Amino acid sequence: MTLTSKPLAAIVLVILFGGILFTTAMGWWQTESTKQPAKFITGEFSGQANPADIRGSYTFGDVENNFGIPAATLAQAFGVTDADPAAFPVKNLETIYAESELEVGTASVRLFVAFYQNLPFDLSDDIYLPESAAELLKGQNLTPEQAAYLENHTILVSVAGSDSPQPASTPAADSPSAPAPAAEATHTTDESDRAIKGKTTFGEILAWGVPRETVEAIIGGPLPAPSITPKDYCLEKGLSFEDIKTQLQAEVDKVK
Amino acid sequence: MITIFGKKIRLFRPRSIWLRKVVQFFFFGFIALIAINHTLVESGGGIPFLSTASLHALCPFGGVVTIYQYATAGTFVQKIHESAFILMILGFLLAVLFGPVFCGWVCPLGTVQEWVSKLGKKLFRRRFNNFVPAKLDNVLRYLRYGVLAWVLYMTAATGTLIFAEYDPYFALFNFWSGEVAVTGLVILGVTLGLSLFVERPWCKYACPYGAVLGISNLFRVFSIRRVEATCKADGACNIVCPMNIAVDTKTTVRDHQCISCLECTSEAICPVAKTVVFSTPLPKNAQTLPVLNPRGSK
């Protein structure tokens, strides 16, 4: 059987586009990530989403959906000033930290999420976090290894377009006396919005500056996971959400 | 068509497979528009009814590099999606049937190299595509298997799309974005520069996907076949072959570099009808049918 160019061209087009149409009809053709990271398949965290699989195409909203960290907290950690932090693509961090000599990007978000939620994470690579993110993590139950890693991988870095006078990419551990105005300059949560509601998480309250010890004193026990809301915590513990809310709000107002 | 000394010779014949160039232009434009659309969508715009997929999602080689991770962890390498895997399978299907027809008819990087080479042909005429000494050329032709092994190993070891930083195809359709590594742009520039002297330099010496598809030349269903009995042995098929394959020394082209462009066939450069064809195995008597053999053996 001999083929000439015309039937060959037709067959090539039919196989390629026919294959695409067929797989589209079957629901197999995907050109984007499903925004669902791989899960741990063994060990204590089996079944939980693995932060190492966070992609640059994820938005902060996708991270919130998969890991329970509010997009506003992520925005605060990484100095993102967008009006809608949930729509901010993780890969855009590389743009806003373009002036940094040490990369702050998708890997930084993976590290932040892992530490924030106490999930396993490979620390063999050097991944850096801005001071603002490190500050938020200091309120978490970090292991000594994590704390040491964080100390050595925190950088004072200004966000592109920021008025911060910080020199780019100065490891914070090397200059402990250096102030960190960049972190403050990048805090973006509108202070007038700092009202504790049913959806507010303990993580957000910590991010707003309320000390961990103060929160624990109010709720009368150790701080639960940052993604838990005080409302859910109160329901579980049989506490009055209104009382706890009032006390927490007072502390939030103090640190505004 | 006239008959001279028992051979059917076309007086007016195309010297090239024009339809291949149309198909190549179509795929180049198609991929270019999608790449532009991907950029536009990220900045809030976009072309209606056109895919916004990233280039990684539309590259069959992405499917190849993710095979290991898919087999061991059930996930794709970052930036690779199901679409790349499907295109890889479709590419393999085409290759089993027709050889690396993807390289010769579809790949936009191959197309661009051919466009640049047109200038090279005008500048250097007969010397074009004959600059590299044969011995060195023969060795360099296997370099792409080394590139393939390196890419597969590094992708498996790192779990990242390591080749994106070096890929001239990605650089070609993303040079306007900030996603392209300098190495990719440099390799693209070198490839296009070399295309002035050598036909498809990237495909011949470095393309890892071409290396994968090239293996199909050993067992493909449809191959370039030469009917020795009617061959004039004028060497036209050798001269026109972009991959420098000596077609006139073979009855079936099994060279791992053939890209199924059909430029050597009787439909294009070969002046004798049904002498160089793209076909399934010919009947045994096909080699002895005609009357006169130009070499005088029969």
Residues B246-288 have pLDDT tens digits of 999 999 999 999 999 999 999 999 999 999 999 998 877 766 5
In a domain, A46, yes or no: no
Residues A115 and A152 in one domain: yes
Residues A57 and A142 in one domain: yes
> CA dihedral defined by B110, B113, B119, B120, rounded to 10 degrees?
-110
Chain A with chain B: Cβ pairs closer than 8 A: 92
- Contact B82/A53, CB-based, under 8 Å? no
B230 touches chain A (CB under 8 A): no
In a domain, A1, yes or no: no
Q: What are phi and psi for residue B173, nearest 5 degrees?
A: -105, 10
User: A140 to chain B, minimum CA–CA distance in Å?
Assistant: 29
In a domain, A154, yes or no: yes
Residues A163 and A197 in one domain: no
Q: How many domains does chain A have?
A: 2
In a domain, A8, yes or no: no
- Contact B20/A30, CB-based, under 8 Å? no
CA dist B144 and B236 (Å) reads: 27
B83 touches chain A (CB under 8 A): yes
Residues 6+ apart with CB under 8 A from B146: none
Residues A203 and A173 in one domain: no
pLDDT at residue B292, rounded to an integer: 43
- What residues of chain A lie within 8 A of the CB of B73, using their CB? 38
Residues A182 and A108 in one domain: yes
Residues A122 and A246 in one domain: no
Residues A57 and A179 in one domain: yes
In a domain, A28, yes or no: no
Residues A211 and A163 in one domain: no
Provide mean pLDDT across the span A169-187: 40
Closest-CA residue of chain B to A87: B42
Element holding A51 (H helix, E strand):
none
Closest-CA residue of chain B to A7: B19
In a domain, A129, yes or no: yes
Give the closest residue to A154 by CA, choosing from A185, A177, A124, A132.
A132
Residues A114 and A201 in one domain: no
3-state secondary structure of A130: strand
Residues A152 and A181 in one domain: yes
User: A230-237 vs A241-255: helix axis angle to the nearest 10?
Assistant: 150
Please identify, among A186, A218, A244, the residue that sits at the C-terminal boundary of a domain: A186
Nearest to A30 among B74, B82, B106 (CB): B82
- pLDDT band at A173; cut points 50, 70, 90: very low
Residues A193-231 have pLDDT tens digits of 677 877 677 877 887 788 888 888 888 888 876 767 787
> Across chain A, what does the average pLDDT equal?
80
Q: Provide the domain limits for residue A148.
A: 51-186
In a domain, A18, yes or no: no
Provide mean pLDDT across the span A64-86: 90
pLDDT at residue B125, rounded to an integer: 87
> Is the pLDDT at B29 greater than 60, yes or no?
yes
Give the closest residue to A189 by CA, choosing from A169, A205, A168.
A205
Residues A138 and A212 in one domain: no
- pLDDT band at A55; cut points 50, 70, 90: confident
B17 touches chain A (CB under 8 A): yes
Please identify, among A131, A159, A186, the residue that sits at the C-terminal boundary of a domain: A186
CA dist B243 and A12 (Å) reads: 21
Nearest to A12 among B57, B94, B280 (CB): B94
**b/e per residue, A142-169, with b = 16+ CB within 10 A?**
beeebeebbeebbbbbbbeebebebebb
Residues A63 and A164 in one domain: yes
- Contact A31/B101, CB-based, under 8 Å? no
Rounded percentage of chain A residues whose pLDDT exceeds 90: 27
HSE of A204 in the Cβ direction (CA atoms, 13 Å)? 25
Residues 6+ apart with CB under 8 A from B298: B229, B288
How far, in whole angstroms, is CA B231 from its chain's centroid? 26
Please identify, among A146, A164, A186, the residue that sits at the C-terminal boundary of a domain: A186
Interface of chain A toward chain B, CB-CB under 8 angstroms? 1-6, 8-9, 11-13, 15-16, 19-20, 23, 28-33, 38, 53, 55-57, 95
> Is the pLDDT at A153 greater than 80, yes or no?
yes
In a domain, A119, yes or no: yes
> Is the pLDDT at A244 greater than 60, yes or no?
yes
| Structure ipTM | 0.88
